[in-house]
Structure 1
């Protein structure tokens, strides 16, 4: 008997596919926008890209923590309980939380603007000016995140999945066409990019606000008793956000710390290299880890509310198995193809060959942790569905401290940005092991045998794929080099990368069939519905 009812199963997979498709398109556009930004601003020319990266990473970190993570992870279970009471109770909680976020972060933006005004005349004036533009973007994007959580809790995944495309589309258009057409000054171009991002955030908020309005939300005055009860509920959600904040933020905090330490300590270009490398490895992570985590949390919360621990265990195990079959080949492939990927995608315009090779070392350092980064959103949301906020928070604090200390040691040993990336991957492994250990204690365990079999099969398939890629690299260098020389440089690089990707996908798929890796077949819809008890 399946863990999910037929309706829940359809809703879950519909959510995963919509979230995954929207995330895929958003990540592709995000990759294109980063390629365009790299071509426009370069890596180390004048320090403009470093200034843009450090200015954007701060607000972007808060967006990821409070928008994609902590607030929504705490908000969705509470909202699900309210919907079970009545529709009116649900909308009342939505109204209360949106009002509170508006006031709190509106005040934060105003105070931060005052601080920025006092720093505009320092040597870091470009970074400060860019931060001032990104602050209102943060306000709109956090409000949009609360609306997205509302839509997800109601089973509507389309707008939350596709609304972020607005930011990427405006950013891409500005980097590719508008900014180069308007000015050749890199600093001015960076300001134009920041303005486009702000406008995209406003559009994202408006779209999701319109969807919530269509579903029936109307502002309603609240009685003093209701307002007081909602205030207590919102305060409880905010307090529960504090440990949640740590749990879901660890990867983002660690990569932000990499960027901040590089900006303070490392030579020009290190901050930009870490920024672009982090964007690159987040591409596969977002496709499965974030998509699964976002669609899975409402379902797991319902299982926990009904105390259906078997269903929770089975669905969480299946999600982890899917994370294995995407994360591990992505990790192996990115490690093997770090140079071809960075050269093909980023060596354009102001981004030179030596910049691409410098970035490739950082990409390889992050690549070793891609599978772990994909597992973490699923594991953490699984713990939250069980009401365990303390475990992820404690393990998160430990890994952040580990990352800071070891990064300092690596820098003192001249490990550079690539060394910082490797340390962050190791810290993620420690966090993942700690969370898995939490599932050996308490009322809900995982299907360890099934997970072990899935992990071993993914390891075999990924190892075989890596060998295929290495052999094909030798073949391409010796046999395809001369034919590719007849093509333009950009065309040859992209064609070579496409061949590498094709070899990787085909080799992994063949090995998945040989080793009967059912999760890979699930992912592409090649397996009919099966009784989970018949699977390993």
Structure 2
């Protein structure tokens, strides 16, 4: 537990700074271009390279590449160095080609991800932005491979801190646009405006990749281009990766449906489309990104080694401690999101081209997403159990079932809800789907390793929720009192609510959980106390 806490703390610190600067980035984005037509066009274009990377690389990194690099380090005579060089060489060439093809196919991609008319100005703006943003595919992908190799060497700092530089670059770009650009009016934007937004976004990814490559060199990795692909184990990678790509394809189909439904809702009610969905989702991902990703990154290589050596008891122990550690903080945060959603989003998004009412709506979507936080985190941890075994097929079927449930509920809620509530309905469908998906994944993973200690984890979660209830009550009281006395959730009122409900609320949770002797919280409190004592 202490080793995981130390590794996770290093990564969480970097991820926290990254997410905080990400907050500032989205604040400046909303300030500069808003969440109506131009904001929707930018967010649609911005989402496409990440979707392509998911299809080609990011899912494969965690489920296939990391375990294969670990095995190469353990069994190859050179410690896996030649294998790592082949992997990076192949990724570089492939992603440069993919980036070029994607730029050419930008109109088709925007048409796939949105419900906008191909001849409309909004569509054309999105296409132009996509052509400026899509070249980042090559740089982001190469950086991701470099980060994965660093993780297998237990070098977690750079992959967690590099996104900070990306955010800083893009923040400067949006601030520049706010000064010299044409604002949020879609009819007034020029080619220069779109180039500034798109090329600036790509420049952030270039800086991020450069940091990771430098860190890899400092870790002792000397890059030599290698294209002797007979020794690249592509057959083994393809056999394992085809199922991972299948999983990502399934989830991306769900994302395409989401963007189409939300883009249609945004046309009917401006400010209630892709942008509020995207911005709320980014905030929803923050706790998981800070806590869950840090734990998973440290957990997967160790679980892979334990599986390779046949020590399934250590796999169960690693998974159980990871779930409890993640949920010890996810549980109170999920309740706070459900209570404080608008109070969180108004100070972040209620400025410039974005009104307070637009920011409140983003907060309403975030409140619904709060329901999904714990199930989503557990679901992601469970997938790593299968990946540590080299099993990439089972997650495809789990993902297909989860996506199918999500799609059914998205369409159903889209049909029955007024357009102003459609995006909130999409978030609710997401929560339902991942709740059911986590149940299925737990059952299947438990069969694989001889049980996951469901009763013990369930009891721990129950104690965590009981410890978090006073925090939720305090946050709700803060909302009622502040809005009742001062009226509404303007910037100052929201800050007061966050200070009382969020700040004091988390301190209250840590105190109650410590008194209830929840081990994971005691470990966190003890680690913080020792560091403060220094």
How far apart in 1 are the matches of 2:146 and 2:414?
A: 42
Q: Is the 8 A contact 1:248 1:380 kept in 2?
A: no
- The Cα offsets for residues 11-57 of structure 1, whole Å up to 9 and x where unpaired, read as x443311211111111111111111111111122xx10010111111
Written as runs of structure 1 = structure 2, the 5 A alignment for 1:130-529 is: 130-175=129-174, 177-186=175-184, 187-188=189-190, 189=193, 191-220=195-224, 227-230=229-232, 233-245=233-245, 247=247, 254=254, 257-266=257-266, 267=268, 268-269=270-271, 270-414=273-417, 415-478=421-484, 481=486, 490-526=491-527
For the structure 1 residues 337 and 102, does the alpha-carbon distance in structure 2 shift closer, same or farther, using more than 3 Å as the test? same
Partner of 1:56: 46
> Does the 8 Å contact 1:65/1:245 carry over to 2?
yes
Instruction: Report the CA distance shift for 1:40/1:222 in structure 2 as closer, same or farther (over 3 A).
Output: closer
Residue in 2 that maps onto 1:534: none
1:250-282, CA deviations, whole angstroms, 9 ceiling, x for partnerless residues?
777645642332114543331111011111111
CA separation of 1:222 and 1:114: change in aligned 2, threshold 3 A: closer
Change (3 A) 1:495 1:466: closer
**What is the rounded CA distance, in whole Å, between the counterparts of 2:78 and 2:27 in structure 1?**
46
Whether contact under 8 Å (2:342, 2:360) holds in the other structure is yes
Aligned to 1:533: none
Task: Measure how far apart 1:495 and its partner are.
Answer: 3.4
1:455-504 deviation line (CA, Å, top 9, x unaligned)? 1111212223212222232333345x39x99xxx6344323322221232
In the alignment, is the contact (CA less than 8 A) between 1:322 and 1:523 conserved in 2? no
Gaps of 5+ in 1: 530-536
- Displacement after TM superposition at 1:301 (Å): 0.7
For residues 341-400 of structure 1, the C-alpha deviation after alignment (integer angstroms, 9 at most, x for no partner) is 122221111111221232222112211101122222221112211233222210101111
Q: Is the 8 A contact 2:510 2:525 kept in 1?
A: no
Answer yes or no: is 1:101 the counterpart of 2:101: no
8 A Cα contact 1:290 1:377, kept in partner: no
The 1-side partners of 2:317 and 2:71 are apart by 22
Counterpart CA distance in 1 for 2:32 and 2:516 is: 46
- SS of the aligned residue for 1:401 comes to helix
The aligned residue for residue 8 of structure 2 is: 16
Partner of 2:29: 37
8 Å CA contact 2:129–2:197 kept in 1: the answer is no
2:115 paired residue number: none
Moved more, 189-198 or 130-139: 189-198
Taking a change above 3 Å as real, the CA distance of residues 495 and 265 of structure 1, as seen in their structure-2 partners, is closer
Please list every run of 5 or more consecutive structure 2 residues that lacks an aligned counterpart in the other structure: 111-117
CA distance in 1, matches of 2:133, 2:523: 40
- Distance in 1 of aligned mates of 2:466 and 2:380: 24
Deviations 1:308-349 (A, max 9, x none): 111111111000001211221111110011121122221111
SS at match of 2:134: helix
Q: Bigger CA drift: 178-187 or 416-425?
A: 178-187
Cα separation, 1, equivalents of 2:527 and 2:107: 58
Instruction: Give the whole-Å Cα distance in 1 for the aligned partners of 2:240 and 2:227.
Output: 25
Cα contact 1:286–1:374 (8 A) shared by 2: no
The Cα of 1:417 is off from its aligned counterpart by 0.9
Q: Deviations over 1:105-146 (max 9, x none)?
A: 222222222233799994211111111122111211011010
In 1, are the aligned partners of 2:292 and 2:377 still within 8 Å (CA)?
A: yes
1:532 aligns with none
Deviation at 1:249, TM superposition (A): 8.0
Shift of 1:75: 0.8
TM-score (norm 2): 0.88
The alignment yields a C-alpha RMSD, in angstroms, of: 2.7
Asked if 2 retains the 8 angstrom alpha-carbon contact of 1:376 and 1:432, the reply is yes
Residues 350 and 393 (structure 1), Cα distance of their counterparts in 2 relative to 1, 3 Å cut: same
Instruction: Report if aligned partners of 1:70, 1:248 keep a CA contact under 8 Å in 2.
Output: no
Q: In structure 2, what is the Cα distance between the partners aligned to 1:118 and 1:391?
A: 31
Using the alignment, how far apart are the partners of 2:354 and 2:29 within structure 1? Answer: 9
Using the TM superposition, give the Cα deviation of residue 527 of structure 1 relative to its aligned residue in structure 2, in angstroms. 9.4
> Relative to structure 2, which stretch is displaced further, 119-128 or 268-277?
119-128
SS in 2 for 1:261: helix
Per the alignment, do residues 221 and 393 of structure 1 end up closer, same or farther by CA in structure 2, a change over 3 Å counting? closer
Q: Secondary structure at the match of 2:176?
A: helix
Is 456-465 or 214-223 further displaced after alignment?
A: 214-223
